[in-house]
Chain A
Amino acid sequence: MKLDSMYQDVILDHYKHPHGRGLRPGDAEVHHVNPTCGDEITLRVRYDGSRVADVSYEGQGCSISQASASVLNELLVGKELGEARRIQDAFLELMQSKGRIEPDDAMEELLEDAVAFAGVSKYPARVKCALLSWMAWKDATAQALGEEPAKADGKTA
């Protein structure tokens, strides 16, 4: 059944038992919304030099958006920024693949639980849900590292 390709057990597990949920002190905070459906996330990042020391978040939304934030936390916390960005880029590519990328071993090694979202990429209306926290992380990181002027509110494109 097609639904199972979207709602993989890994995703439902993250949804029911999210990793690192809750807001903790950080270097920057962003609030992103998905205006078409009302999914929202407030996300903070903390850096220890170039290492992702913490990603904390609070939000409301569907299982896909919430599970994705949990996976992000699990994957990125503790990584060097360069590695974290490589993961982010790979996830973005996977989500924009419209179901055409079949994750190979290398991708699975890089993305771990996040490969479970491959099925979501077939549903255009849900891709934004999966990307919400990742776009928020990218934005918060840029702000924390002083790469662009801080903005209080943002939208996931």
Chain B
Amino acid sequence: MTQLPGLLDTEAIRKDFPILDRVLHDGKKLVYLDNAATSQTPRQVLDVLNEYYEQHNANVHRGVHVLAEEATELYEGARDKVAAFVNAPSRNEVIFTKNASESLNLVANMLGWADEPYRVDADTEIVITEMEHHSNIVPWQLLAQRTGAKLKWFGLTDDGRLDLSRIDEVITPKTKIVSFVLVSNILGTFNPVEAIVRRAQEVGALVLVDASQAAPHMALDVQALQADFVAFTGHKMCGPTGIGVLWGRQELLEDLPPFLGGGEMIETVSMSSSTYAPAPHKFEAGTPPIAQAVGLGAAVDYLSSIGMDKIAAHEHALTEYAIRRLHDVPDLRIIGPTTAEERGAAISFTLGDIHPHDVGQVLDEQGIAVRVGHHCARPVCLRYGIPATTRASFYLYSTPAEVDALVDGLEHVRNFFG
């Protein structure tokens, strides 16, 4: 077996993930390389979810009975865990949403309805990048259409990085918000936060960081990022689906208006008007995803017990190995950075002129799960003149043997369509 420095004890870790034992298609062992789409869930999280429903299930912040108090304590306890996980200065800065898309949409809507100095209107500009997931493009297009604001973006270099050469022309004193991805879900690129934040701060623009592909894979420190908002989702970091997070600076959350109205987010309500609860509840209208938040708390515990730095080192070693092996596959072109430096563990590629759909289908027949298509980042495909890519993405339980299986699988694909 291939040994690489920095690898985790995957033999032990994989025992925590029952699904990884699945055998598909007449005896092919599952090789799960679609972690950028969603991660698998360890027993530790599944047990907590079960226990929540079997022992503590109730609505939160309402009843005075035992179950209601337990559920509330578990839900708010999850907020504490997530706050500590991202080094938030205050637990009240952690808003639970249903996913990262909702977190991003929440900010876009807050800014559309905000008073000065945050208000996005016809005289202002919004800045994103060409490598955003559709969830960090469409909400801003909607906001621009509704307000008349101008939408601008950073383009990409040929090697899959942000082109910041004209940063002063892209981010200007008219810019109200700069929203960009920390790690690209299609290219894998790790973006230079500091340069962008510095320029945004110069012109007084807010910064929103989409950390969906970062939070699962590396230590995330919202204070070090110096952003104003950070969004991510639970199901990519060993948690359940249906739970996302928006972290925001406290004074902004106090100043900005709510988006969704309903129960839980109010202080008092009369027939003519209402006053609102302080953040985070101001932004959590209605019954929240309680079990999912509790599950995310358990996921955060699980990841922390292994150590985010160790997970990052594991993935870095694996990415380096995967890139080295993929370089040897004839006709394979990596779309994105072609070294393991400043990049995450999602690797997109094309294989000659074999369509990614066909690549994915033949890999699936061998038990290998990859993602094919435009990965909700169609502008990236347009930028590089390709219809789609095949993407392999790794996580803490991925192994060099799985990289080998992928490379062998691709050889099989080439023979099949050759």
A-side residues, CB < 8 A to B, are 1-3, 6-7, 12, 36-40, 60-66, 123, 126, 129
Contacts and interface: CB of A to CB of B under 8 A. Distances in A.
A61 B374 CA distance: 12
B387 A60 contact: yes
Interface in B356-411: 356-358, 361-362, 365, 372-374, 378, 381, 387-388
A136 to B, nearest CB: 17
B355 interface: yes
Contact of A61 (B355, B365, B416, B417): B355
B361 A126 contact: yes
B65 interface: no
B357 A61 contact: yes
B166 interface: no
Nearest to A62: B357
A3 B378 contact: no
B25 interface: yes
A48 to B, nearest CB: 34
Nearest to B412: A3
Contact of A63 (B355, B374, B387): B355
Interface centre among B355, B362, B365, B373 (most CB of A within 10 A): B355
A6 B373 contact: no
Contacts of B374: 37-38
Contact of A38 (B361, B378, B416, B417): B378
A41 to B, nearest CB: 12
Contact of B358 (A2, A36, A60, A63): A63
A7 B416 contact: yes
A64 to B, nearest CB: 7
B197 to A, nearest CB: 33
B105 to A, nearest CB: 19
A38 B384 CA distance: 14
A62 B381 CA distance: 15
A70 B355 CA distance: 16
Given A7-B416, A38-B374, A62 B365 contact: no
Contacts of B372: 37
Contacts of A40: 387
29 contacts: A1-B365, A3-B361, A3-B362, A3-B416, A7-B416, A12-B417, A36-B373, A37-B356, A37-B357, A37-B372, A37-B374, A37-B388, A38-B374, A38-B378, A38-B387, A38-B388, A39-B387, A61-B357, A62-B355, A62-B356, A62-B357, A62-B358, A63-B355, A64-B357, A64-B358, A65-B357, A66-B355, A126-B357, A126-B361
Contacts of A60: 355, 387
A129 B387 CA distance: 14
Contacts of A39: 357, 387
A3 B363 CA distance: 10
Contacts of B365: 1-3
Given A6-B361, A37-B357, A65-B357, 20 more contacts: A2-B25, A2-B365, A3-B361, A3-B365, A3-B416, A7-B358, A38-B374, A38-B381, A39-B357, A40-B387, A61-B355, A62-B355, A62-B356, A63-B357, A63-B358, A63-B417, A64-B358, A66-B355, A123-B361, A129-B357
